[in-house]
Structure 1
Amino acid sequence: MSMRAIAALRARPAALAAIGYMFVTNLDSIFVIPLLPVLHGGAPAAIARDIALALSLRLGASLLLSLVLPIVAPQASNARLLLASSLLKAMAFASILALPTPAGLWCFAVLAGAGTGTLRPAVRAVIADETRGQVQALAFQALFLAMNLAFALGPLVAEAAIRMEWMAAGVAAVTILELGAGLAALRLMPARKTRALVADGAGGMLSAARDLGGALWLLMAQSMLSYAAVGFLIASLVLYDTINPPLGAWRNWLLSAEGLAVIAVQLALMPLFTQLPRVALHGAVALAAGVGLVLCFSASLPLAVIGLLVFALAECLAMPVAQLELSERAPARQRRAIFALAMVAAALGEIAGSWLAWGVARIGMAGMAGATAAQCAGLLLGCGLAGVAWALARRAAHGERASVMRGRLAQERR
């Protein structure tokens, strides 16, 4: 990545504010979620049931808001959407302290999910509006890095709060921090209603979906499969004792290592990202996802760690590339709606990945080879991503041939 692109990104305060906002709001959420079992205070079976249901409700609320937001609020500026998101999440955190269990959990799940579904397309739309070219590629990489840095730091801060018995104080602190982030977004984000923010003439996200071309649908499929792979890996690591008993004792370490591996690979890729050919990147995502998932469920700890690093390569390539290409291909007036569609695809993929992990765990609980089933599932996801990469490569080659033919026809007419 050139120093000129870095300097240009620094000159775009709205894009930097969007990245900072995403870091803060993700850190708040990832801090609170590990505290939920401790704050619940019930029997282990009740804790597992209620937490699982709460997290499912949170994802469902996020999906619903991503689906309806461009329809119900097509004229809202991104700054106001981010303030609304912070208000929803602050109420979610406060409900944990104010309401008894499990009512507080349900309120947290619905409100926090609604806030997440509101902020994701808005943050991406701000970056897409404020940046272009290499600067945009750098901005999306920085966004992804900020999200993963929050994922790595949140559980560590939560563990410190648990050890010091500051859970309630910590939840109160992130409630205030979330409100501050929303007010800062309102002040720093552009309040103008540009064509990128208004869905007039598009009828919101449903019309945007009807207008999508083949390449955009393929990118949506890649996002869904990529998030399915991520959801499958995370859920499988949580259930590692059942799926891969030889390494079950290393479950928590591997969960932490996954986030750190993503950060390390992302930092290594940042100088090279814009120099790599897009077609090769799509193929690399498929190969790294399949190979990484297979290695993650081996009986050898070193191979499992290598698998996490290889899978981190797929994760670090898939997310920024898909967001960058969606931004480049989407019409300006439909950009926010298309980003919302991408978030819907990601949520559906994450849900499917979690269900796949649960199915693999059921195989392990039945006394069969859970690790082998997990490796087969990883290969299946890798093959799906490879099919998308092949289709994108075919479309790119067809586009190049059509461009050459148009050039020849123009020369013959002269």
Structure 2
Amino acid sequence: MQMATPMTTVVTPTPQGQVELTPKGSCRAGVKFAIDVGYRHIDGAYSYGNEHEVGEAIREKIAEGWVKREDIFYCGKLWGTDFDPERVLPALQKTLQDVHLDYVDLYIMETPMAFKPGDKIFPKDKNGNLIFHKTNLCATWEALEACKDAGLVKSLGVSHFNRRQLELILNKPRLKYKPVCNQVECHPYFTQTKLLEFCQQHDILMVAFTPLGISKNPDCFGVYFEPLLEDELLNSLGKKYKKTAAQVALRFNIQRGIVVIPKSYDPAKIKENLQIFDFSLTTEEMKTIETLNRDVRLAGQLSPPPPSFHRPHPPAITPRIVLIHRCMIIVQSLPTVRFVAGSKIIHVENAAISIRNMSLCSERSLTTCSCSTQKGYGDT
């Protein structure tokens, strides 16, 4: 299934605290163009603030006779402010109203954590701290199952779930419908191998957002690496197959059995991202790309960086990072390098080797450009 996503990189807060990720009209135009060139999977969400434009685009293409409703695979998302069971159905009905559809093909829990119920996407206290909300994920899932029984949803899934959170749903007593997918950050710099293996063992499809390793969210911060699309290996393979580094990165995940949802409303990029089905990477090339993995999330966080944090500038020499269980060895020839691991900012000064007892693969690590980074996200 080819796929598109209306989510893009321009962030504009609305008075209600919602987040609009595209300039007005850009999402509608992007979705229409994507449908024109062959995309059928559209990944949207209430939290993106643009589902009404997605709905307009779909209705217009159906009216033109370009597609039928059954040709479109629309994915909506339940945001964390609506995890209380009594709020699940109204939230889904809001999405259906905005996109003008009788049902969504896939509806997923957008995070494994809940926020204070209400209209604000990111509820905060007087000190600017996010307000979380205690909830029962299994109770939320039961409410979603009721939506499926009512015919409003074809399939159910999750996003940012790690292995233990998936097991919580899978082992739920009287489970009626298991998650069909888990949407997480995944690209050659963050291959999510263990989580992928777990999902495949349980017949859960992994869906990769940020598949090009790009996040332009102004609140994004993390370890500095050379941009994925400037990677020498990906570009050399691109020259071999007469493709771009982006197309090689997308093809890499496709051949691993992962759905990719690159985001763009640039017509040229939308078209380019679809042109990945006319070549294949060899087994050896796949293994070589896997060596690029650094087990570090490149996407941003919900919480802003601490006041003392300054975004890292590209070093003259890229650090080589090796992960050994819960310890990280940093080999670095520069006088000073600054990076983030979980909530900690680490300075390495005048050192060839520095060891810090932490894990970049745990629930505390960085995550997703579309949503957030909090305990329990993403990896195993």
Superposition TM-score tier, normalisation by shorter sequence: under 0.3
**Structure holding more helix per residue:** 1
| TM-score, with structure 1 as normaliser | 0.24
| TM-score, with structure 2 as normaliser | 0.26
**Structure holding more strand per residue:** 2
